[in-house]
Amino acid sequence: MIDYTKEGDLHLVTMNAGPNVICPEWQQRMLDILDTVEVDCGKGAALILTGEDKYFCNGLTTSPREILTL
């Protein structure tokens, strides 16, 4: 769904689930990654977000209300 790698101060996040739709599982994984980056970044870091396949992101699979409850 989402791969995360770190090289020095560079944090690379790659969405790799076909159409890359945002669902509750995707959101939780992204929040976990962002927490890791925040703790690890120290004085500074770069975060690069990319998408594999045809789409960077193809929308939501849930309602906004569901996402807000996570």
3-17, pLDDT tens digit by residue?
A: 999 998 899 999 988
Which band of pLDDT confidence, cut at 50, 70 and 90, is reported for residue 67?
A: low
DSSP 50: E
Average pLDDT over residues 33-47: 86
- The residue range of the domain holding 40 is 2-68
CATH number, domain with residue 49: 3.30.300
Q: Do 36 and 4 touch, CB atoms closer than 8 A?
A: yes
pTM to 2 decimals? Answer: 0.76
Those residues whose C-beta lies under 8 Å from the C-beta of residue 60, and which sit 6 or more positions away, are: 21, 22, 23, 67
Q: How many domains does the chain have?
A: 1
